[in-house]
C-alpha cells in the first residue's frame, strides 16, 4: 500500500515513511492510495472469527509486507490485550466501552499500535529517536504508556501546568524510564507552539532525531477501526438488530474517520453520528457546506475542544468531497456543557450507568439521531474515557459515585516527577540540548 499526501496526490510514500514522517513534507495528511475491501466471509460471519484475526485481516492490506506477519500479529496482540465490551444502557442503546486500557481512554489503541510499528521500523538504528508530543490530557498518557520500555525510543511530553486532571497528571508524570514529562507554565496552545517550533529547528534536529506521535499519524488513525469491527461482532453474537448506528464523540475526528473507513471497506453500518461539544465547526459545515472554524471554546469534554479538526479532510476524501453523499451516511450535532451534565445526571439516575462528559455527548447525539430517524436500529455510542479521568469537574453528587478502577488506584500514591519550564521555546531547546 502506498500513501499520498492530501495536498498533492503525486507525493507517494510507503507505510514506513508515512509512520516515521507523520505528516507529509507539504503538511498534507497521508491517505491510502486505495481502499481495500474486507473479505466477504469476514463481514458476513464476523462471529466466526477470533478478535485478533479480525484485526489482522482488516489492517494487513494497509501494511503489506512492510512488517512480517508474525511481528504484525504480535503488535496487534499487544494492542488489543484488554476488552472492548458493549454494555446495554437502555432499550436498543449500548455503549462501547473503550476505556479498559492502561490509561483509561480509547487513545491507548492507536498509541500502542503506533509504538509497535515505530519500534519495529527503528529496530536496526543505533541512534535513539525522540517522540516529542504536546498534550491537553489524554494523548500524553496514551503515548507514554504505549512507548514505555520501547527500545531506541524516548518520549518527551509537554503538558500545561494545572490544566490537566489529577489522574491525567499522575499518568504523565510517574512512569519515568524512557518517559519525561515537561510541565509548562502556560496553556496547551503554548505547548503545541513550542513543539511545532522544535520540529522546525535545524540545530535541534542535528542534536536529536525528532518524531511526533500526533493523532494524524496513519499508525494511530487506522487501528481505531478495530473496535468498530469488534462491536459489530458483538451485535451479531447477541442477535441484536444488524442496523448499527454509531455515535462518536469527536474532536479531531480521527476516531470517527476510522469507523467511516471500516464502512468503506465493507463493514455494514447504517449511519454515523459525529457528536461534538460547542466546538461545532463540523455540525455547521454539515448544514451549509461552509467550513468556518472559530477559536476553540473550553468545555467539560476538553479532549474535544478542537476548532479545526485535522482528520475531517480524510472524511471528505472518503466521500470524494461530496456533501450530499456525506450527509447520507453521517449526521453531526453539538451540545453545551449544560446538556452534557444533564445527560450524565439522567443516565445515572435512570440507568445507574456513569458516563464521562465525552461519552455523554455521544449519548446525546445518538438520542437525537434515533428520534429524528425512527426505525429498527441498534444504537451504539462510544464511551471514549473512564469517568474517573474527568472526576475533578463532574457534578458533586456524581463525583461520589465514580469508582476508581483497581489498575489505577496505586497511581494516586506515586510521586509526580516533572521538569517545570516556562512557556518559552528557548527553555525547551536548552533542556533538549542538555538531555
Ligand atoms: C481524544 C478524545 C476524543 C476525540 O477523539 P478524536 O479522534 O480526536 O475525534 C474524545 N474523547 C476522549 C476521551 C478523547 O481523549
User: What is the full DSSP assignment across 271-311?
Assistant: EEEEEESS--HHHHHHHHS----------SSGGG--SS-TT
Which residue's alpha carbon is at the smallest distance from atom 14 of ligand 1? 303
CB 168 less than 6 A from any atom of ligand 1: no
Centre of ligand 1 from the C-alpha of residue 257, in Å: 12
**Strands 378-383 and 244-249, bridge-based pairing:** parallel
Residue 210 resides in a domain: no
Is 332's C-beta closer than 6 angstroms to any atom of ligand 1? no
145 found inside a domain: no
CATH, residue 347: 3.40.50.1100
CA of 125 to the centre of ligand 1 (A): 33
Cβ of 255 below 6 Å from ligand 1: yes
pLDDT in tens, the chain (435 residues): 999 999 998 989 999 999 988 889 898 999 999 999 999 999 999 999 999 999 999 999 999 999 999 999 999 999 999 999 999 999 999 999 999 999 999 999 999 999 999 999 988 888 888 999 999 888 999 999 999 999 889 999 999 999 898 999 999 999 999 999 999 999 888 998 899 899 889 999 889 889 888 888 999 999 999 999 999 999 999 999 999 999 999 999 999 999 999 999 999 999 999 999 999 999 999 999 999 999 889 999 999 998 899 999 999 999 999 999 999 999 999 999 999 999 999 999 999 999 999 999 999 999 999 999 999 999 999 999 999 999 988 999 999 999 999 889 999 999 999 999 999 999 999 999 999
Which atom number of ligand 1 is nearest to the Cα of residue 142? 15
Query: Does a structural domain hold residue 358?
Result: yes
Per-residue cell: 306: 478542537
Q: Is residue 130 part of a domain?
A: no
**Structural domain contains residue 129:** no
Looking at the structure of the chain, the number of domains it has is 1
Q: What confidence tens digit (pLDDT) does each residue in 87-113 have? A: 999 999 999 999 999 999 999 999 999
Cα–Cα distance, 249 to 366 (Å, whole number): 10
Q: Is 288 exposed, middle or buried (0-12, 13-18, 19+ CB in 10 A)?
A: exposed
Which residues lie closer than 8 Å to 125 by C-beta, 6 or more apart?
A: 152
CB-based contacts of 145, cutoff 8 Å, min separation 6:
102, 103, 108, 111, 112, 171, 175
And the C-alpha cell for 304?
A: 474535544
Distance (Å) from CA 231 to ligand 1 centroid? 18
CB of 249 closer than 6 angstroms to any ligand 1 atom: yes
- CB-side neighbour CA atoms (13 Å) of 119: 20
Measured in Å, residue 247 CA sits from the centre of ligand 1 at 13
For the sheet with 3-5, list strands across it: 8-13, 3-5, 30-32
Q: Report the residue among 101, 106, 300, 362 best suited for mutation to probe ligand 1: largest number of ligand atoms under 8 A from its CB.
A: 106
Output the CA 306–ligand 1 centroid distance in Å: 10
**What is the pLDDT, as a whole number, of residue 212?**
86
Task: Output the CA–CA distances (angstroms, integers) from residue 52 to 56, 58, 82, in the order listed.
Answer: 6, 10, 12
Where are the alpha helices (H) located in 129-225, listed in sequence order? 138-147, 166-173, 188-200, 202-207, 218-221
CA of 274 to the centre of ligand 1 (A): 11
Is 336 within the bounds of a domain? yes
Ligand 1 contacts CB of residue 107 (under 6 A): yes
251 lines ligand 1 (CB under 6 A): yes
What is the model's pLDDT at position 136? Answer: 85
Give pTM, 2 decimals.
0.95
Ligand 1 atom index nearest CA of 257 = 7
Report the separation in Å between the CA atom of 288 and the middle of ligand 1, taken as the mean of its atom positions: 25
Domain containing residue 376: 83-105+221-403
**What's the confidence (pLDDT) of residue 295?**
87
Distance CA(237)–CA(406), nearest Å, equals 29
Q: Is 94 a member of any domain? A: yes
Phi and psi (nearest 5°) for 155? -120, 130
* Residue 208 three-state SS: coil
**190 touches ligand 1 (CB under 6 Å):** no
Q: Ligand 1 pocket: which of 97, 138, 307, 390 to mutate (most atoms <8 Å of CB)? A: 138
Distance 217 CA to ligand 1 centre (A): 15
Amino acid at each position: 500500500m502506498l500513501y499520498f499526501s492530501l495536498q498533492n496526490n503525486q507525493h507517494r510514500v510507503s507505510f514506513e515513511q508515512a509512520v516515521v514522517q507523520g505528516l507529509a513534507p507539504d503538511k498534507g495528511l497521508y491517505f491510502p492510495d486505495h481502499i481495500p475491501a474486507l473479505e466477504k466471509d469476514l463481514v458476513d460471519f464476523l462471529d466466526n472469527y477470533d478478535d485478533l484475526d479480525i484485526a489482522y485481516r482488516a489492517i494487513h492490506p494497509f501494511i503489506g509486507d512492510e512488517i512480517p506477519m508474525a511481528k504484525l500479529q504480535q503488535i496487534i496482540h499487544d494492542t488489543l490485550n484488554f476488552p472492548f465490551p458493549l454494555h446495554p444502557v437502555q432499550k436498543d442503546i449500548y455503549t462501547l466501552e473503550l476505556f479498559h486500557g492502561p490509561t483509561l481512554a480509547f487513545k491507548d489503541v492507536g498509541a500502542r499500535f503506533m509504538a509497535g510499528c515505530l519500534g519495529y521500523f527503528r529496530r536496526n538504528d543505533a541512534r535513539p529517536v525522540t517522540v516529542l508530543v504536546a498534550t491537553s490530557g489524554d494523548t500524553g498518557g496514551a503515548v507514554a504508556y504505549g512507548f514505555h520500555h520501547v527500545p531506541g525510543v524516548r518520549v518527551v511530553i509537554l503538558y500545561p501546568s494545572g490544566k490537566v486532571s489529577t489522574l491525567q497528571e499522575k499518568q504523565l508524570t510517574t512512569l519515568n524510564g524512557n518517559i519525561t514529562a515537561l510541565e509548562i507554565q502556560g496553556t496547551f496552545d503554548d505547548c503545541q507552539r513550542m513543539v511545532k517550533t522544535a520540529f522546525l529547528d535545524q540545530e535541534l534536529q542535528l542534536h536529536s532525531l525528532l518524531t511526533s506521535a500526533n493523532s494524524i499519524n496513519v499508525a494511530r488513525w487506522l487501528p481505531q477501526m478495530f473496535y468498530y469491527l469488534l462491536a459489530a461482532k458483538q451485535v451479531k453474537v447477541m442477535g441484536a438488530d444488524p442496523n448499527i448506528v454509531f455515535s462518536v464523540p469527536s474532536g479531531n475526528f480521527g476516531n470517527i474517520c476510522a469507523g467511516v473507513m471500516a464502512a468503506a471497506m465493507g463493514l455494514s453500518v447504517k449511519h454515523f453520528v459525529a457528536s461534538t461539544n460547542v466546538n461545532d465547526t463540523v455540525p455547521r459545515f454539515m448544514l451549509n457546506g461552509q467550513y468556518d472554524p472559530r477559536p476553540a471554546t473550553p468545555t467539560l469534554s476538553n479532549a474535544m475542544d478542537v476548532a479545526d479538526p485535522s482528520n475531517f479532510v480524510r472524511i471528505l476524501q472518503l466521500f470524494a468531497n461530496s456533501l450530499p453523499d456525506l450527509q447520507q451516511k453521517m449526521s453531526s450535532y453539538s451540545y453545551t456543557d449544560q446538556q452534557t451534565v444533564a445527560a450524565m445526571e439522567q443516565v445515572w439516575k435512570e440507568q445507574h450507568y456513569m458516563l464521562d462528559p465525552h461519552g455523554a455527548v455521544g449519548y446525546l447525539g445518538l438520542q437525537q439521531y434515533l428520534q429524528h430517524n425512527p426505525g429498527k436500529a441498534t444504537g451504539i455510542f462510544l464511551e471514549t474515557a473512564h469517568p474517573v479521568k474527568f472526576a475533578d469537574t463532574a457534578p458533586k453528587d456524581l463525583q461520589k459515585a465514580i469508582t476508581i478502577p483497581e489498575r489505577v488506584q496505586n497511581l494516586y500514591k506515586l510521586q509526580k516527577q516533572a521538569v517545570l519550564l516556562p512557556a518559552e521555546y528557548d527553555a525547551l531547546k536548552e533542556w533538549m540540548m542538555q538531555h
